Structure 1
Amino acid sequence: MSETVSFGYEEVDPQEKTRRVGAVFSGVAARYDVMNDAMSGGMHRLWKDQFVRRVKPQPGEAILDMAGGTGDIAFRMAARGAEVTVADINQEMLDVGVERAMDRGIDGLVWSNQNAEALTYGPRMFDAYTIAFGIRNVTHIDKALAEAYRVLKYGGRFFCLEFSTTEWPGFKEVYDFYSHKLVPQLGKAIAGDADSYRYLIESIRRFPPMPEFERMIREAGFARTKVEPILGGLVAIHSGWKI
């Protein structure tokens, strides 16, 4: 039997998932950041601030921000003096990020169209690899983790910010109702696209639980792995080191 992978709650051919995910983000790129504010009540900004504090970007460090499209994480790290390469498989997302950088007068960033599963960079090029709210959309997560390990220098660090499953009693039920019933309607009202946001919520539900994803990070070769739940695990910061 041929391999299939999940696209939301549907099983599809891997190439089909890559195509469909690309179409999702092409469709929502222009309104992506507005929707993030609407869906999270602005909390995504606080999560990203906390994420970057954990990364601790240093002046002159080479950092690869994968799936960094619109620049939210890259702008924060560049403000601390890091030399950031923003990579994304979706050119429309990168175009939005470049425009935002120009509007803010931020230069010095490198913007690159990249597939997380097959990066064009040589081995041991970066001091840190970051990916925020992107790895669950990768077709083969294990391949993306292997590539992250490959392009990091020894002593380099991996940081991932991703939705997970909250363990707070009661909150999970409230969030499930909100995400499945209301988020697609927000997507329709703000971005004119309910289906894309329905997929994004489904992709969160299909993402591995925190302990399982930490195991995948270890299996990719990373040591000293750690998980930091936020809001009981609604969001989590995963990290590991290449030693």
Structure 2
Amino acid sequence: MTAGSSPNANPAPGTTHFGFQTVAEDEKHRRVAEVFHSVAQRYDVMNDMMSGGLHRVWKHFTVSRANVRPGMKVLDIAGGTGDLARAFAKRAGPTGEVWLTDINDSMLRVGRDRLLDKGVLSPVAVCDAEKLPFPDAYFDRVSVAFGLRNMTHKDRALAEMTRVLKPGGKLLVLEFSRVAAPLAPAYDWYSFNILPWLGKRIANDESSYRYLAESIRMHPDQETLAGMLADAGLARVQYFNLTAGVCALHEGVRL
């Protein structure tokens, strides 16, 4: 499969994609957890190495589009090491409420410690995006960065994110996407040769980074994901291609 192609047809009931493999849904939960337990301590270093630091630019753009204001309630899903939560907390101020959540406790511990090191006292919670433990219409903003593609039932997760948004609230989904066709051959070569090599040299984990490259190819393209946000009940859905489509920010508003 190439960077410019679409994901395979839906797998059989009870199964899902783990990279290019088809596995039982329960097995995917376990194997994704293993990936992020393995990479948690080196996650930020690897992000800088893999993207040449561009992930920081993409996140900055996301924060600017979120337009978080003092007193707002914000939920950062699959927040990992806390980059977005920290930025949101700065803007929400002492009267705001910014939750850092992740399904993976190893990633969440790293994020919690980083927030504390920066003097940010935000609530943190281990939770599944498909079953969020928050009341309806509670948050002004919900974000998920580089986490949606690892979720088994993306439609359920998007529906949950919409459920917890207040009317007028905005969902922001930052994720790797379909790169522009002329760049696809070079992007494929980099993804399946350089990324696993970096994973082996820096994180001592080649297979996890090969999975990450594969999971990008199995994620819905820009238009498909925009349709999924609309199906979840969001309006004014739009997306922004970043770095020629290597990454895209999708957003929608709950009316």
Shorter chain as denominator, the TM-score bin is over 0.9
Pair 1:159-2:159 in alignment? no
**Count of residues paired in the alignment:** 241
Whole-angstrom distance in 1 between the partners of 2:230 and 2:118 = 38
Find the residue that maps to 1:216 and give its secondary structure.
Answer: helix
Instruction: Report the equivalent of 1:127.
Output: 140
Question: 2:83 corresponds to which residue?
Answer: 72
Asked if the contact 1:168/1:232 (under 8 Å) is kept, the reply is: no
Q: 1:2, CA displacement in angstroms?
A: 4.0
2:151 paired residue number:
138
Corresponding residue of 1:201: 213
2:109 counterpart of 1:95? yes
Comparing 78-87 with 49-58, greater Cα deviation is found at 78-87
Shift of 1:83: 2.2
Alpha-carbon contact 1:117-1:140 (below 8 Å) kept? yes
Aligned with residue 72 of structure 2, among 55, 61, 68:
61
- Give 1:1-243 correspondences, 5 Å limit: 2-81=13-92, 82-107=96-121, 109-169=122-182, 171-243=183-255
Moved over 3 A (4+): none
Task: Give me the whole-angstrom Cα distance separating, in 1, the residues matched to 2:27 and 2:134.
Answer: 25
For normalisation by structure 2, the TM-score amounts to 0.92
Following superposition, the deviation at residue 168 of structure 1 comes to 4.9
Distance 2:78 2:35 in 1: 14
Aligned alpha-carbon RMSD (Å)? 1.0
Higher relative contact order structure (alpha carbons within 8 Å, sequence separation ≥ 6): 2
Segments of 5+ residues of structure 1 without an aligned counterpart are none
- Asked if 2 retains the 8 angstrom alpha-carbon contact of 1:8 and 1:206, the reply is yes
Deviation at 1:102, TM superposition (A): 2.1
Amino acid at match of 1:189: R
Q: Give identity over the alignment, percent.
A: 47
Unaligned stretches of 5+ residues in structure 2: 1-11
Distance 1:193 1:236 in 2: 26
